[in-house]
Amino acid sequence: MCPSSDQADIVTDAENTDTGSIGTIGSASPPLIDLTGCDADDLDAVVKSLGLPGFRAKQIWRWIWRHGLTRFDDMTDLGKPVRALLPQHLIITRPVITSRQKSTDGTIKWLLRFADGNEAEAVYIPDADRGTLCVSSQVGCTLTCTFCHTGTQRLVRNLTVAEITGQVLIAMDELGEWPATHDGRRLTNIVMMGMGEPLFNYENVAKALRIIMSGEGIGLSKRRVTLSTSGVVPEIMRCGAELGVNLAISLHATNDELRDVLVPINRKYPLKTLIEACRNYPGLSNARRVTWEYVMLDGINDSDAEARALVNLIKGIPSKINLIPFNPWPGSGYERSKDDRIDSFAAIVMKAGYASPIRTPRGEDILAACGQLKTTSERLRKSQIKAITD
């Protein structure tokens, strides 16, 4: 069943920070059901529970996901009695935009506030032949990757389905993407590379992506959706089998000793197990490759020897390597590799037969580049949650 408009996966100090827990922030009246967190089956069940015929669910679905409507009064093929009934039980939400910044390169970063006051960021990156939306899956992050600004923010909670889809809806609203079937779409790709580890919030991420990929709505092809993970090995195969989206691995090191420092989850899922999971990812081919993300840190992981080790590590896996010049943030303690060092690293990788684009930093002037996202939201203690919910 889809959630009410005031539900959130709230993580307390005493709870498992990998998955969070379901909590409801109090309301004096029965909470409205938020349809942006409903899949097609949920919506069908909700509509029937209101005594309406099933075909009404399909009508409502198209209005929400193909036309971007938020008001039942604007759904012109619904009778007036139906339009009067629906808002008594249902709602179609958007996150609140608390800040919008546009970079000199056209990148847009939104700071979005949710019903409980917590915030996350989403970033739209325009290119000549595509437009990519970077979507967050959590408020904060539990991974503490030492080069990543988000990793300095403690995990607050998982985002709900509605909060994940809401980021896409906000972008489509601003970009004028409705109806979703129009030609010349500006939002062509989605990457789950924003705040948080998507595979630690797998259920909500998977449901949100299925909604976005539905052919009866926005209809974004799974070939245009990429999920990036730091290496939550048990969920990698599940993601490939159930969603069929593209896989990206936040790698950044070619040996366990260094990766244990840069990406601490490596201590739980070391490189041997991670590489084996990627080798067996469903659907891999020369046309559908694993993307290895590798941030270039001056004097840390950028030597020619590291480049050769990287080639050897991924041997036999259909792959492309995305070299990411480190994007500085206050207090990071790392420096970006020199341009000639990055070029030398890339040349070794390309000579081995791997596509190795060097990612052009985007949105640096608004702290929207890779590894720079962070909000001021903090994890609530149980006493604070009780004060909100009472």
Q: Which of 2, 38, 239, 370 is catalytic?
A: 370
- Cα–Cα distance, 232 to 302 (Å, whole number): 25
Residue 203 is among the residues annotated as catalytic for this protein: no
- Cα–Cα distance, 286 to 205 (Å, whole number): 26
> Tokens standing for 369?
């580049």
> Tokens standing for 340?
């000639």
Q: Which amino acid is at 203?
A: E
Is the four-CA dihedral 209, 189, 176, 77 of positive or negative sign? negative
3-state secondary structure of 309: helix
Radius of gyration, CA atoms only, the chain = 21
Q: Which amino acid is at 232?
A: V
Q: Which of 2, 38, 121, 197 is catalytic?
A: 121
Residue 306 is among the residues annotated as catalytic for this protein: no
- Phi-psi sector, 344: left (phi>0), alpha (psi -120 to 50), beta: alpha
**Which residues are CB-contacts of 44 (< 8 A; sequence separation ≥ 6)?**
54, 57
Residue tagged 């546009």 (tokens): 102
Each as own residue / partner, the long-range contacts of residues 130-134 (CB below 8 Å, 24 or more positions apart, any chain) are 130/188, 130/189, 131/175, 131/185, 131/186, 131/187, 131/188, 131/189, 132/187, 132/188, 132/189, 132/190, 132/191, 133/167, 133/168, 133/171, 133/187, 133/189, 133/190, 133/191, 134/191, 134/193, 134/194
**Residues annotated catalytic, as ranges:** 121, 370
